[in-house]
Structure 1
Amino acid sequence: MLGERPLGENWSATFRWWFLPSWLGLDAPFVVLTWTWATSRAMDITLPNRSGIALFLVVWFIYLADRLFDVARCQDWSKATGRMRFGRSCRPVFWLGLAFCSAGLLAIVWAGLPTDVLQRGAIVALGVSLHCLAFVTPVIFPAKLRGKEFGVGLFFALGAYACLGAKLSALPLFVAIAIVVTFNCLVIAARDADSDETNDSGAASRWWMSMKRDLFWLGLALTATATFCSIFTDEAAFYLALAAAFAALTLLHHQAHLLSGDAVRALADFSLFTPIPIVIALT
């Protein structure tokens, strides 16, 4: 079914081809690029090709490195997700990806990026570094801080800011990106609660005890709010895509008990590509 085949004893999971973007860390860069592009369309400005490529490579680099950190710190492989098992079995692929991202970024910088993009990127990079030290690799504090899911949402919004710049009219769009990405992370965290109980001390499921119940009602409220904004604001296509993403994530969360953690993660990320058909069709 959908390219299903057994992975074998080392991975102890079921492989489906549509898991690969998530397992290779490609989901995050595609998502942030999609919403940055949608924001640029809503702001009626052009997303420069080099800035978009640089954003993609930076985010992919961060997610590849994060996967290697997760694999190195895994405490109980019997509860690990297929995504983490894939990371353990395919470490050379991740190191190759890191090398590719590094070479690509050097080439982009050498070819030339606008000075303002570099300046904003440097500010965001500083914030991301502090986030990693607090939420990913507990260096500043003895243990991971709570709330990494909210930090990821902010990180994606800041990526869009680094590419597009700051305009007062764009602030609600950046906030919307942060919220939808955070909600995506929370839906995934709710399904991965069993694994996170052992392997991720900072996960939302460790401190938000009523999360599974609350996310459904929160998703309905966010869907309604985004729909309202699509009717009464000028950025109708952007907010309609946002409403579709919230609706898809809410439905996925409601049915998550029927799916594996890896399937929920993959489908949650696919739910964030709603701007592609909607924005293209309506603008």
Structure 2
Amino acid sequence: MALWHLLSLDAPTVAALWTWFIARTCHVHLPAAATIAMAIAVWMLYAADRLLDSGSTRQDKLEARHIFHHRHRSIFLIGIVLSSVALTLLLPRLDGQSIRLYLILGGLVFGYFVLIHAARSAHRLPKEIAVGIFFAAATFIPTVARRPGLRLELLAPALLFAMLCSLNCLFIYAWEHPLGHSALARDHPAHAVTRFALRYLRLIAMAVVVAGTALAVFDSFAPWQIPFATAIAAALLLVLHHRRGTILPTTLRAAADLVLTTPLLLILFHR
């Protein structure tokens, strides 16, 4: 599991799984190319982000994933180049509306990417929140591009999933900075919104569990499996947080992404 995380395969796995899961629960046919393209694009983004972090952060502040990427920098760079070629070959197999929406999202992600690695502006949206929004949007795009009428129905589940993805990042931040916002390194302070969220992390996670369960039970429009899988994942993050002192850091970081694979638990309910 640790290697799955160190190779940056965790986020692509989660992204591809949720992309397929959302489409399947909405009875939308999604070609394999769409799921594969999603996995490749997310891997490229995460690998590039970790390579940039490893070059711009002090060595004593790096986490295991950054050190691993730095040590194998050449291999990851080759992988990114080859992945970009594969992604280019897959583009003709994607529908036009999905590509248009991904171009818009990609432009926003690229702009944010430049902002956090170049300017590090204090006014930017905190990374933990931005990742949740971008990640959730990417997984829902293939479905709403093929069925635009589902946009309103899927709005609440999409927002809830975005909160889950942000929670994933926030829990990881809390584990990697156990002293919290009061004792962060001076050269890499937490965003004010991040500090606020860390203060109420358990409460926010419990709110996602309750909201996800309520949507699954009472929302008669959107597929119940999506908010229910979100609620289970948030609950599992709380369990990991409670047991964080008994798990090795790299394994804990990998487990934080592993709990987002809850759609696998509901696969029997797909028809």
1:216 to 199, 202, 220: 202
The 5-angstrom pairing of residues 118-157 of structure 1 reads 118-135=99-116, 137-139=117-119, 145=124, 147-157=126-136
Give the alignment partner of residue 39 of structure 1, picking from 22, 39, 63: 22
Q: Percent identity?
A: 28
Q: What residue is the counterpart of 1:254 in the other structure? A: 242
Q: Which residue number corresponds to residue 188 of structure 1?
A: 172
Cα gap change, 1:153 to 1:261, in 2 (>3 Å) = same
- The structural deviation recorded for 1:239 is 2.0
Task: Extract unaligned runs of 5+ from structure 2.
Answer: none
- Residue 62 of structure 2 is aligned with which of 80, 99, 119? 80
Report which stretch shifted further, 158-167 or 45-54. Answer: 158-167
CA-to-partner distance for each residue in 1:155-212, whole Å, 9 max, x for gaps? 112212432224221222221221111111111010111699349726459951672x
- Structure 1 unpaired stretches of 5+: 1-17
Deviation at 1:260, TM superposition (A): 3.5
Matched, 1:116 2:97: yes
Distance in 2, Cα, partners of 1:180 & 1:96: 32
> What residue in structure 2 maps to residue 227 of structure 1?
213
Write out per-residue CA displacement over residues 25-60 of structure 1, whole angstroms, 9 at most, x where no aligned residue: 111111112222221123221222222221111111
The match for 1:95 among 68, 72, 77 is 77
Q: Secondary structure of 1:168's match?
A: coil
Structure 1 counterpart of 2:195, which letter? W
State the SS of the aligned residue for 1:44: coil
Q: Distance in 1 between matches of 2:261 and 2:155?
A: 21
The DSSP-based 3-state class of the residue aligned with 2:118 is coil
Give the TM-score normalised by structure 2.
0.86
* CA offsets 1:102-136 (integer angstroms, 9 cap, x no match): 11112112x4322112111111111111111223x
Preserved CA contact (<8 Å) 1:64 1:97: no
Change (3 A) 1:264 1:144: farther
Note if 1:169 corresponds to 2:153.
yes
Aligned residue for 1:50?
33
Instruction: Indicate how the Cα distance of structure 1 residues 97 and 144 shifts in structure 2: closer, same or farther if over 3 A, else same.
Output: farther
Q: Within 2, Cα distance between the matches of 1:103 and 1:227?
A: 41
Contact 1:190 / 1:205 at 8 angstroms: preserved in 2?
Answer: no
TM-score (structure 1 length as normaliser): 0.83
Alignment CA distance shift 1:272-1:66 (3 Å): same
Cα RMSD between the aligned structures?
Answer: 2.5
Count the aligned residue pairs.
Answer: 260
| Distance of 1:263 and 1:79 partners within structure 2 | 18
For the residue of structure 2 that corresponds to 1:25, the secondary structure is coil
Residues 112 and 227 (structure 1 numbering): CA distance in 2 closer, same or farther, change over 3 Å? Answer: closer
Query: What residue number does 1:178 align with?
Result: 162
Aligned AA (1:157)? A
Name the CA distance, whole Å, in 1 between partners of 2:65 and 2:57.
12
Amino acid at match of 1:276: L
Q: CA deviation at 1:68?
A: 0.8
C-alpha distance 194-246 of structure 1, shift in aligned 2 (>3 A): closer
What is the letter of the counterpart of residue 158 of structure 1? Answer: A
SS of alignment partner, residue 169 of structure 1: coil
The 5 Å alignment of 1:57-68 reads 57-68=40-51
Q: Is the 8 A contact 1:149 1:204 kept in 2?
A: no
Inter-CA distance 99–255: structure 2 relative to 1 (3 Å threshold): same
Contact 2:212 2:230 survives alignment (8 Å) = yes
